[in-house]
Amino acid sequence: MSRRRASAKNLVSKEIKREIKEEEEEEEGEGEMDNIKLGTRATRNMKTKLESFSFGNSPTPSSSKATIVSSTATTTTTTAKSKKRKRSESPPVDLHLLTDADADADADAYEPTPQRKTKATKAAKAKVYKMELDSPQPAPANWLVTYRAIEEMRKGRPAPVDTMGCHAPMKETRIDVQARRFITLVSLMLSSQTKDEVTHAAVQNLRAVFRPPKEHDTDPYKEYLTVPNMVSASIETIESCINKVGFWRRKAQYLKSTAEILQRDYAGEIPKSVEGLCGLPGVGMKMAMLTMQNAWGENVGIGVDVHVHRITNRLGWFGRGRETKTPEETRVRLESWLPREFYGPINPLLVGFGQTVCTPVRPKCEECLLSRKEFEIEWEGEGGEGGKGGERVKKVGNGPLCPSAFKGSTGGPRRKTVVKKEEEVLEALIKVELEE
């Protein structure tokens, strides 16, 4: 077994020697290369393999250590050998043995190849959004009655968005208004693919970590989650505060980069335009619209998240077979027919409805007014379908207002029938046992 291993070792060493010799022959007559650069991975691997074998009577290296540096050939050769040999790893290279002194002399002239930019360091591409449809979509039938029915259902059902939504920071009037606007933006940047409870906890973690110790905190009403403090904070600190939200590593980079841009270009304030907000890393149209509404009080568009996107399609507001594919498409279609006064309230209304009743999985259709053939509601405000403001409106139809009612729900009529049969069987069994 050892004889076979030694024979294989000699064959491999001979093959490696032959490849190196062929490379040296190709480079003869080309002259010594002035700038010595680091070689390719294939050459370094070849050198490692070569050193791992013993070549019999090979000379022992001297006391002065020799540094092996590979240099990439800058000229192409047209020899017959290079035509025959098909090398997919790298262009021909040659090996030079240099002393430590030679290596130190060449180190100053060596310029490392710039590394490829990662996702975090790539320049942000310009974001392009479609602001309106070429031909507006007509308003769906009974949309206002549907909207008022959802308002009625939301009255007695508190949802996480009611206390932990992006509007919450602006209610803390004791805090400087500029800091409140920044906290609103931070909350929205963390909210994507994350529940409101987790987002709220992450924001509170940032506020607590950025606050100095009590002995240095002279003003208990001062806010420390500010642009300058975010700029000075390390990525590791930010990550430790938000590591429960979705894509937290990427969002930590976004927060850091956004704070640097705000400090450099906006004097520590957040932009007061959709275009400026969308130009920040990690900020899309939904975040920009909600920031304009909550931080600046300007109603310029609808903030469409996954809840608004899902529920409006379940309600059939875009027509049968014309469902939207993305939240951005939903926004454009909604804005084409929804009155502007509904742009602001529709987001928290549908988000809370999606968190409590029209959930993504197992929606509670049996508790939803829109799944009934008739229901009675009373709304206040402007007139519209069903009568004047404040008038009691009775909706009677040939079917539920939600075309998706009981589709995929476990609480519909079929489930009730099964439960009823199970109860009847149980009662019969109990009756039999009592008779016995």
**Residue 383 Rama label (left phi>0; alpha psi -120 to 50; beta):** beta
Nearest to 356 by CA among 159, 161, 193: 159
* Residue 428: alpha-carbon gap to chain centroid: 56
Spell out the SS3 assignment of 302-358: CCCCHHHHHHHHHCCCCCCCCCCCCHHHHHHHHHCCCCHHHCCCHHHHHHHHHHHCC
| Max CA separation in the chain (angstroms) | 111
Token pair for residue 235?
């990525």
Give Cβ neighbours of residue 147 (< 8 Å, ≥ 6 apart). 342, 346, 349
Give the up-direction half-sphere exposure of residue 364: CA atoms within 13 A in the CB hemisphere. 11
Token pair for residue 358?
């029209």
Q: Which helix (H) or strand (E) holds 190?
A: helix 177-191
What CA–CA distance (Å, rounded) separates 137 from 317? 10
- Phi and psi at residue 257, to the nearest 5°: -65, -40
CB distance 190 to 242 below 8 Å: yes
What CA–CA distance (Å, rounded) separates 230 from 221? 19
Which amino acids are annotated catalytic?
286
Token pair for residue 117?
């930019």
Beta bridge partners of 94: 71
**Residue 328 Rama label (left phi>0; alpha psi -120 to 50; beta):** alpha
Beta bridge partners of 95: 70
Token pair for residue 112?
């490392």
What CA–CA distance (Å, rounded) separates 409 from 362? 5
> How long is the chain?
436
Amino acid at 415: R
CB burial string 120-145: b at 16+ within 10 A, e below: eeeeeeeeeeeeeeeeebeeeebbbb
